[in-house]
Chain A
Amino acid sequence: MTPSTVAVQTAERLTAAAGLNATLDWSPELLATEATAAEAIGAGALHGMALAVKDNIVTAEQPTTCASKILEGYQSPFTATAVNRLRAAGGMVACKANLDEFAMGSSTEHSAYGRVLHPMNPDLVPGGSSGGSAALVAAGVVPAALGSETGGSVRQPASFCGIVGVKPSYGLVSRWGLVAFGSSLDCISVFGDTVARSARVLEAISGHDPQDATTFEREPLAPFVPRTDLKGLRVGLPKEYFPDDLDPAIRAGCNRTIALLRELGAELVEVSLPHTAYAVPTYYVLNPAEAAANLARFDGVRYGARRVGLAGDLRALYQATRGQGFGPEVRRRILVGTYVLSAGYYDAYYARAQQVRRHLALDFQNAFAAGVDLLFTPTTPSTAFAAGANTGDPVAMYLADVFVCAVSLAGLPALSIPIGRDQGLPIGGQLIAPFMQDGAMLAAADVMERHLDATGEVR
């Protein structure tokens, strides 16, 4: 199929899927322009592939909103490295995808442009914060999409939507053009309908970028070597990720997958990551701290929506612009982040959280050093929850990320693949690999994918 044909069909599907509220800016005309460019490039690893791009990744052709009123009308003068690389490989931007405002959330309910619906049941959430990208892949509108992860924002919606979601090693993909949220955690990440397709997208966008100092000396990801089984592979099962009160359906899905891993020749060993319980609290100190600084630039002075305020002075400008421009979850994180960095509280919160972060990373290092190649865990503690179920309780919402946060704090690669269903709703399983072992992780997931009954009921 030529890129132009793909573009036309993608536009038809985007129109048909409008009810999901998964897209922000897109148009058939822009898609046609993308197709013309892709045709001019000719061959390429992503030739003719149309991808949704989460709207916290800037493109020079379309507005970037981060699903926030504060960026209303903002047009970036430059394009993210990841998008440039997609296009250079023959890929096309299908649309900008809806998200939780500034990627803060786990349900894509915190968007100034309305919540995204789960493709299988409109009463449920698709997960978040990359819920728009996930829903579009799950609904078959696009075969792959770019999302971003700060603490599980791709793996968790991939799990809820029954698709593949890959978070690479920190620094493997350039953050140039990704609107910063938690800079030490942010990773542009990939959704795909299959492991192989997700890997191809990741390979195309990865590697050193002179414009991102945290990608220095990173080679692009090499295509993984396909394997026929998992013989010789030691897979660790961290006991803290299988608590006694784990949802029975999730446990059943994991048990089925563990049996499959064994059948495929992997050796399974129980391991311990003793600091796991501290991951979510640590994440919710460090992430708001970085977010508070990263979002300081949205002040109404240079771009975006400006509100002058009653007093008419500088303070009023800041208060009105930021007070009205940011939604409640963003304001909450800025307040928390400002607090934990304040004089007198820094040591008790930020400095302590940094120490715990090192312990969390060491937990993983110790497990891998003991001879484990990969870890397997559930991705989420539940299947997709109902819209509105957690919006009144931020901590309950944060706990949706209990199995994905620690990996982000450690900077490791991880992915979620569908491992079965409970009452029709997808369950995700998570593979975690040592730093920069993204390829080995993808190769293992590829084998699993071929043998898993991803759409079968687990009990």
Chain B
Amino acid sequence: MTTTWETVVGLEVHVQLATASKMFCGCSTTFGEAPNTNVCPVCLGLPGALPVPNEQAIRLATRAALALECTVHETSVFARKNYFYPDLPKGYQISQFDQPLATGGVLRCESPDRGPLAVGITRLHVEEDAGKSLHDRFPGLTAVDLNRAGVPLAEIVSEPDLRSPAEARAYLTAIRQLLVFAGISDCSMEKGSLRVDANLSVRPMGQTTLGTRTEVKNMNSFANVERALEAERARQIALIEGGGRVQQVSLLFNAATGEVRPMRSKEDSHDYRYFPDPDLPPLIVTQAWIEGERSALPELPDAMRARLASQYGLSAYDAGVLSGEVAIARYFEAVVAAGAEAKASANWIMGEALTDWNVLERFPVNPGIMAGLIALVANGTVSHQAGRKVYTELSARGGDPLAVAQHLGLVQVRDESALETWVDEVLAACPAEVGRFKGGEAKLMGFLTGQVMRRSGGKADPKGIQVVLVRKLS
């Protein structure tokens, strides 16, 4: 009998807190500057320099914790995590260890297999980032860029509540959405402002104790997290079924080959020797301050989805798409506020505007113009089909919707004599179909309407065509 295996996944997510300056000094956090320009004695770890915490970073981390329904602790402690590496200027990273900022939260997301999930959040703590080692910049040498050293991060650790690589991806999508909504991080994996380490183990279905886990690192997209975990799951199952045992190791994912390989033991043999950082007094936040941050939280994704559905009468699907990002929801609400009907606005945004958004990361047609276009279609001035052409033009070059429709000759023709001319031409060209229609094949009305539309070059008003056709054929 073959064993059915259950997969157990827990995730550690590092997000860069969206501050202007670093965690313990005044240096800029701007991405993409010339190497080693955003640096000072503190983040270079020069002798005699001391860290001073960035209040905005603590604020954002607190909001993240509250958005994740964590308990924020009035006292937390910065600790030194000791290890040697050239991109770690002080020889230790300032982090938090046994007294983190927050513990015990939950992230809600949708499992592809199990439906709505509430994934436990073990802890959230604040720390500084290391610099970046560049091994491919100079042949045979390693270059170190310390612009990122000292950038503030929140590390968010989940419980081992996820049961598949796909659920891991759903969790990541949801947590990114939440953190972006709350203004905590831009969560860009490309810029390194969101990084994921995943812990995975397998066990026979029904077993309650956890199997030995491994940690998978070096995944640069959510899709690759899923791929890496699938590869690691397959590796573990094959290992166990072959009579082997899983070793607790760290593995690196190779996106090119789709494989995971164990890190060299040297890379993984750290005893971090954590101890409280004597340069930093315990971090104290009052309950009143925490409540202030709670009330400063913007509307979060779940609440927004529910509100869009009820306030605008949208389907759960539409409300979900429109609340995917704050900017999309804002745009939708602005289009409706400019006078467009809600369901039509949702359709137009999901059908047309989101294509632009995905490419441009902005909406090129302003909400008032968009509402004008939707009105032109709704009142029959242009067909839906023609409306899409008008949208394309508005998106590319701007302008007034009606003027653009006229300029492109897309305003529907309702003039009776023009319609009659096209109808007569079609009836003359299709005697067989006319005969069958008169013989009782009513469905040929659609064919004939289409022929007239084609002859008009798409400009004829479909309702007008029908009126004329019915009169001519009766």
Task: Determine how close the nearest CB of chain B comes to the CB of A370; give it in whole angstroms.
Answer: 28
Q: Let me know if A57 is at the binding interface, CB within 8 A.
A: yes
B312 within 8 A of A: no
Q: Is A283 interfacial (CB-CB < 8 Å)?
A: no
Bound-complex Cα distance A309 to B48 (A): 27
Question: Is B82 an interface residue, CB under 8 A from the partner?
Answer: yes
Q: Which residues of the partner chain A approach B80 to less than 8 Å between Cβ atoms?
A: 293
Instruction: A242 to B281: give the CA distance in the assembly, Å.
Output: 35
**Cα(A77)–Cα(B91), bound, Å:** 20
A295→B271 CA distance, assembly (Å): 17
Which residues of A from 247 to 293 have beta carbons under 8 Å from B?
A: 289-290, 292-293
| Complex interface residues of chain A between 73 and 125 (CB less than 8 A to chain B) | 74, 76-78, 80
Choose among A179, A214, A289, A342 the residue that contacts B47 (Cβ–Cβ < 8 A).
A179
Chain A, Cβ-Cβ closest to B51: A213
- What is the minimal beta-carbon distance from A333 to any residue of chain B, in angstroms? 15
User: A299 and B48: CB pair below 8 A?
Assistant: no
Contact with A along B54-97 (1 / 0, CB 8 A): 00000000000000000000000000101010100111100000
State in angstroms the CA–CA spacing of A178 and B47 once bound together: 8
Residue of A nearest to B81 (CB): A293
Picked from B44, B50, B82, the residue with its CB within 8 Å of the CB of A296 is: B82
* A-chain residues with CB within 8 Å of residue B41 when the two chains form the complex: 76-78
Bound Cα distance A301, B130 (Å) = 15
Q: Is A194 an interface position by the 8 A CB rule?
A: no
Taking CB atoms, residues of chain A closer than 8 Å to B45 are 297, 302
What residues on A are CB-neighbors of B403 within 8 Å?
none
Provide the main secondary structure of the chain A interface: loop
Residue B238 at the chain A interface, CB threshold 8 Å: no
Q: Which of B46, B53, B92, B271 contacts A343 (CB 8 A)?
A: B271
Contact A302 B89 (CB under 8 A): yes
Which residues of B have CB within 8 Å of A314?
86
- B52 contacts A293, C-beta separation under 8 Å: no
Tell me if B427 counts as interface (CB < 8 A to partner A).
no
With a cutoff of 8 Å between Cβ atoms, the chain B residues found around residue A74 in the complex are 47
Complex contact B278–A299 (CB within 8 A): no
Cβ contact within 8 Å between A58 and B44: no
Asked if A318 meets B44 with Cβ closer than 8 Å, knowing A184-B278, A213-B52, the reply is: no
Q: Give, as a whole number of angstroms, the nearest-CB distance from B143 to chain A.
A: 12
A76→B86 CA distance, assembly (Å):
20
* Least CB distance, A115 to chain B, in whole angstroms: 23
Question: Known contacts being A183-B278, A216-B281, A299-B91, is A318 close to B52, with CB within 8 Å?
Answer: no
Question: From residue 178 to 236 of chain A, which have CB atoms closer than 8 A to chain B?
Answer: 178-180, 182-184, 210-214, 216
A295 proximity list for chain B (CB < 8 A):
91
Given A183-B278, A301-B144, A350-B275, residue A296 in contact with residue B91 (CB < 8 A): yes
Known contacts: A299-B91, A341-B82. The answer to whether A76 contacts B281 by CB under 8 A is no
Given contacts A293-B80, A293-B275, A301-B144, contact A212 B50 (CB under 8 A): yes
Across the interface, A213 reaches (CB within 8 A) one of B44, B53, B144, namely: B53
Q: How far in angstroms is the closest Cβ of chain B from A15?
A: 29
By the criterion CB–CB under 8 Å, are A296 and B275 in contact?
no
A160 at the interface (CB under 8 A from B): no
Q: Is A175 part of the binding interface, using a Cβ–Cβ cutoff of 8 Å? A: yes
| A176 contacts partner chain B, Cβ-Cβ < 8 Å | yes
| Residues of chain B in range 260-279 having any CB-CB distance to chain A below 8 Å | 271, 273-275, 277-279
Check: B280 CB closer than 8 A to any chain A CB: yes
- Chain A's nearest CB lies how many Å from the CB of B86? 5
B84: A residues at CB distance < 8 A: 296, 299, 318
Residues 81-121 of B, flagged 1 when their CB comes within 8 A of A and 0 if not, give 01010100111100000000000000000000000000000
Contact check, B46 vs A77: say whether CB atoms are below 8 A apart: yes
Contact between B48 and A293, CB atoms less than 8 A apart: no
Interface size on B, residues (CB 8 A): 29
Task: Determine which residue in A64, A177, A296, A346 has the highest number of CB atoms from chain B within 10 A of its CB, and name it.
Answer: A296
- A183 to B279: give the CA distance in the assembly, Å: 6
In the complex, which residues of chain A have a beta carbon less than 8 angstroms from the beta carbon of B82?
Answer: 292-293, 296, 341
Q: Once bound together, how far apart are the Cα atoms of A239 and B279, in whole Å?
A: 34
Question: Known: A210-B52, A213-B53. Is A293-B91 also a contact (CB below 8 A)?
Answer: yes
A338 touches B279 (CB 8 A): no
Partner of B90, one of A76, A297, A343: A297
Residues of A within 8 A of B234 (CB): none
One of B46, B91, B144, B280 near A76 (C-beta < 8 A): B46
Inter-chain CA distance A248–B94, complex, in Å, is 49
Contacts of A77 in B (CB 8 A): 41, 46
Given contacts A76-B47, A76-B48, A314-B86, contact A213 B92 (CB under 8 A): no
- Shortest B49–chain A CB gap in Å is 7
**Alpha-carbon separation in the docked complex, A195 to B134 (Å):** 55
Minimal beta-carbon separation of A171 from chain B (angstroms) = 9
A182 to chain B: which residues have CB within 8 Å? 278
Q: Which residues of A contact B49 (CB under 8 A)?
A: 78, 176
Contact with B along A15-45 (1 / 0, CB 8 A): 0000000000000000000000000000000
Give the docked Cα–Cα distance between A184 and B281 (Å): 10
CA distance A350 to B86 in the complex (A): 27
Q: Is A409 an interface residue (CB 8 A)?
A: no
Which of chain B's residues has its CB closest to A179's CB?
B47
A296-B84, A297-B89 known; A341 and B275 CB under 8 Å?
yes
Tell me the chain B residues, 16-67 only, with Cβ under 8 Å from chain A.
Answer: 41, 44-53
Contacts of A214 in B (CB 8 A): 278-281
Evaluate contact between A342 and B271: CB separation under 8 angstroms: yes
Whether A303 pairs with B46 at a CB distance below 8 angstroms is yes
List A contacts of B90 (CB < 8 A): 296-297
- List 5 tightest A-B contacts by C-beta distance, closest first: A296-B91, A184-B278, A341-B273, A183-B278, A177-B48
Extra A-B contacts (17), CB below 8 Å, given A78-B49, A301-B86: A57-B48, A66-B47, A78-B41, A180-B48, A180-B50, A180-B279, A183-B279, A211-B50, A212-B50, A213-B53, A213-B280, A214-B278, A214-B280, A292-B273, A298-B47, A299-B84, A314-B86
In the complex, 14 of the A-B residue pairs with CB atoms within 8 angstroms, ordered by the A residue number, are A58-B47, A66-B47, A78-B41, A179-B48, A180-B50, A184-B278, A211-B52, A212-B52, A213-B50, A293-B82, A293-B273, A301-B144, A341-B273, A346-B273
| Contact surface of B with A, Cβ cutoff 8 Å | 41, 44-53, 80, 82, 84, 86, 89-92, 144, 271, 273-275, 277-281
